[in-house]
Amino acid sequence: MILDFFSYLLRFILIILLQVLVVDNIDISTKVNPYIYIGFILLLPVTIKPWFALVLAFLCGATMDTFSKTPGMHIAATLLLAYLRIHYLRFSTTKEDIESRIRPSISKKGVVWFVFYAFIMTFIHHTLLFYLEIYGFQEFFNTLLRILLSTLVTVLMIVVGQLLFYNVKTRNE
């Protein structure tokens, strides 16, 4: 338990620093805002207690709100992400996954499963975040385009991170 806490803390610090110091300073386009910090929430183990996932999501969102000067927007989006993630994983994982305490990743579930999972969850997160940012539906289609482009770039960056930093094994091993 203590070892898990320090592991989560180290991952949390590293991904927030990467987001704030590197990704936020990359100017891709006015339509693309990748938020790779949500990978921290997406990669939590399947068996993590729901209340703990929500606490971690709150802390992650609060940290991003502090650095981004966006009061409560990242908190709301990450809490929704963590809440819906719990339900998504209940229906998309097997009993063996739960018993072996896997983390949803490319190496454990395969590329197609992970990309679909990351895309759905990232799209939900970005939808709430970007519509809260403009505070309404005035520019619905412009914001929807921004959501789609940002989701694609975010998922691409998370997948590349998975391929670079995690041991990719074949599924039959």
C-alpha to C-alpha distances, 113 to 38, 40, 43, 96, nearest whole angstrom = 17, 17, 13, 16
Q: What is the pLDDT of residue 171?
A: 44
Q: CATH for 2-165?
A: 1.10.1760
**Domain limits of the chain?**
2-165
Q: What is the pLDDT of residue 49?
A: 87
Q: What is the pLDDT of residue 26?
A: 81
| pTM, two decimal places | 0.85
Q: Per the structure block, which two tokens stand in for 75? A: 């908190």
Q: What is the pLDDT of residue 2?
A: 66
| Single-letter code of the amino acid located at 149 | L
Q: What is the mean pLDDT of each run of 10 residues along the chain (173 residues)?
A: 74 88 80 89 87 92 91 94 90 68 74 91 94 83 91 93 68 42
Q: Are 125 and 38 in contact (CB under 8 A)?
A: yes
- Tell me how far apart the alpha carbons of residues 153 and 149 are, in angstroms, rounded to a whole number: 6
Burial class (CB in 10 A: 0-12, 13-18, 19+), 135: exposed
Q: What is the pLDDT of residue 163?
A: 84
C-alpha to C-alpha distances, 71 to 36, 106, 132, nearest whole angstrom = 19, 33, 11
- Tell me how far apart the alpha carbons of residues 147 and 86 are, in angstroms, rounded to a whole number: 22
The 3-class secondary structure across 84-139, one letter per residue, is HHHHHHHHHCCHHHHHCCCCCCHHHHCHHHHHHHHHHHHHHHHHHHHHHHHCCCCC
